[in-house]
Amino acid sequence: MRGIHPLAFGLALAIIALPAASLAQTEQHDHKAVAAAGTTAEGRTPAPPDAYVYIGWPNDGETLHTRHVKVWFGTRNFGVAPAGVDKPNTGHHHLLIDAPLPPLDQEIPNDKNHLHFGAGQTETTIDLPPGTHTLQLLMGDANHIPHNPPLMSKKITIHVE
Amino acid sequence: MNKISAILVAAMIMGLGSATAGDRKPAPQGASVYIVWPRDGGVIKDGKFWIRMGLSGAGIAPAGIDKANTGHHHLLIDTDLPPLDQEIPNDKNHLHFGAGQTEARIELPPGKHTLQLLFADANHLSFDPPIMSKKITITVPQ
C-alpha cells in the first residue's frame, strides 16, 4: 500500500464496488433477464456421452468409524484440469456435501456444502460430524459451470459414528 | 590455449549439468502417487482391467499446462524407472496420460507384469525428488 494515497485507494474501492452494486440491483429488478443471459445452452462446455464421474470411496451406505472421511474422485473417459484451464474433455471436481444438485446452468456455488477442487485434486479428506450425510461429485468446466450433459456421480449416503 | 579450451569445456559441461537439473521442478511438498487398483499381487483373470491412479497432495493438469503443484500421470508397464533427468519415453511400456486422465483401460497378455506410476510435469519431466508409486506385480493367468 506504500505510495498510494488513502483517498486514491478509497476511490479505487468505490469504482470496484459500484458495478457490483448496480449488478445486484439489476438482478433484483430484472431477475429474469439476468437469468436468461446466464442460461444459454451454448455457454456450457460439451462432454462426451461415455464420460462419467463416481465416488470411489467411501461406499454408498457405508458406516465410518471416523470423522475424517477420505473421498476418492473417480473419472472415466475424461480428464482433470485445474480451474481456469479451458481444454476439451477436461474439468475439475466439486464435492456436494449434504446438498441437492445446484442449478446446472450456473457456476457451482462455493461454500461448505459445495467444495471446489480447482487445483486439479482427485481426492480429499473432509471432516464430518456424526450422523448421516450425503456426498455427490459434480464436474465443472474451467469456469465452474457443469458440462452438457452434466458429469455427476450417484449421490451416496454415509453414516459417520 | 589448451587451458582456455579446458575451461570452456568445463564451463559447457557445468552449464549442461545445471540446465538439466534446473529443468526438473521441485516436487510439491507431501505429494505422492499410488495405484488404487489393481492390488499388488492381484490376479487379473483375462488381463483386461481399468487401472485407477491415485494422487495425494497435488493436482492433475493436462500435459503442456504449466501450473504450480500439478502434473500428469505416466504408467510404467514391465519396465524399470527411465532416466529421471529426461522426458519420460512414450511407448507401450511408458503410457502418458497427458489429457489429465486418472483411469485407463489396460490389456496385458498372460504372465507376470509390473506396474508403476511416475508423476511428471507439463513437459513430461519427473519432479525432484521423483513422485512415483510402489512398483506392483500382477499376474494374468494362461
The interface predicted TM-score (ipTM) is: 0.83
pLDDT at B12 over 50: no
The helix or strand, by DSSP H or E, that contains position B20, with its residue range, turns out to be helix B2-23
**Is the CB of B99 inside 8 Å of chain A's CB atoms?**
yes
The pLDDT assigned to A73 comes to: 98
* Burial environment of residue B5 by CB neighbours within 10 A (0 to 12, 13 to 18, 19 or more): exposed
Of residues A8 and B114, the one with the higher pLDDT is: B114
Maximum average pLDDT range among A43-47, A59-63, B18-22: A59-63
- Can you tell me the distance from the alpha carbon of A59 to that of A112, in angstroms, rounded to the nearest whole number? 22
pLDDT digits (tens, 9 = 90+) for B82-132: 999 999 999 999 999 999 999 999 999 999 999 999 999 999 999 999 999
- Greatest alpha-carbon pair distance for chain A in Å reads 59
pLDDT digits (tens, 9 = 90+) for B35-61: 999 999 999 999 999 999 999 999 999
Mean pLDDT of A63-89: 97
pLDDT digits (tens, 9 = 90+) for A15-60: 333 333 333 333 333 333 333 333 444 579 999 999 999 999 999 9
**Is the CB of A72 inside 8 Å of chain B's CB atoms?**
yes
Of residues B137 and A17, the one with the higher pLDDT is: B137
Q: How far is CA B62 from CA A83, A107, A113, A117, B33, in A?
A: 12, 22, 28, 15, 16
pLDDT at B15 over 50: no
- Can you tell me the distance from the alpha carbon of B83 to that of A21, in angstroms, rounded to the nearest whole number? 57
pLDDT at A107 over 90: yes
The pLDDT assigned to A113 comes to: 98
The answer to whether the CB atoms of A90 and B100 lie below 8 A apart is: yes
pLDDT at B141 over 90: yes
**Is the CB of A109 inside 8 Å of chain B's CB atoms?**
no
Name residue B86's amino acid: Q
DSSP string, chain A: -TTS-HHHHHHHHHHHHHHHHHHHHHHHHSHHHHHHHHT-GGGSPB--TT-EEEEEES-TT-EES-SEEEEEEEEESSEE--TT---TTEEEEEEEES-PPPPTTSPPP-BTTEEE-TT--SEEEEE--SEEEEEEEEEE-TTS-B-BS--BPPPEEEEE-
Percentage, residues of chain A above pLDDT 70: 74
**Is the CB of B103 inside 8 Å of chain A's CB atoms?**
yes
The architecture that CATH gives domain B2-140 is Sandwich (2.60)
The residue among A121, A154, A150, A149 whose CA lies nearest residue A136 is A154
Q: Which residues of A touch B50 (CB under 8 A)?
A: 76
The answer to whether the CB atoms of A90 and B62 lie below 8 A apart is: yes
pLDDT level of residue A3 (50, 70, 90 thresholds)? very low
Mean pLDDT of B61-90: 97
Contact call for residues A103 and A114 (beta carbons, < 8 A):
no
The pLDDT assigned to B2 comes to: 53
Tell how far CA A121 is from the center of its chain.
13
Question: If you average pLDDT over every residue of chain A, what do you get?
Answer: 82
The answer to whether the CB atoms of B59 and A82 lie below 8 A apart is: yes
The residue among A109, A105, A103 whose CA lies nearest residue A42 is A105
The count of residues in chain A is 161
pLDDT level of residue B21 (50, 70, 90 thresholds)? very low
- Can you tell me the distance from the alpha carbon of A105 to that of A107, in angstroms, rounded to the nearest whole number? 7
A41 CB-near residues (< 8 Å, 6+ apart): A105, A148
Q: Which residues of B touch A90 (CB under 8 A)?
A: 62, 99-100
The residue among A114, A110, A85 whose CA lies nearest residue A98 is A114
Residue B117: helix, strand or coil by DSSP? strand
Q: How many CB atoms lie within 10 A of CB B84?
A: 16
pLDDT digits (tens, 9 = 90+) for A118-136: 999 999 999 999 999 999 9
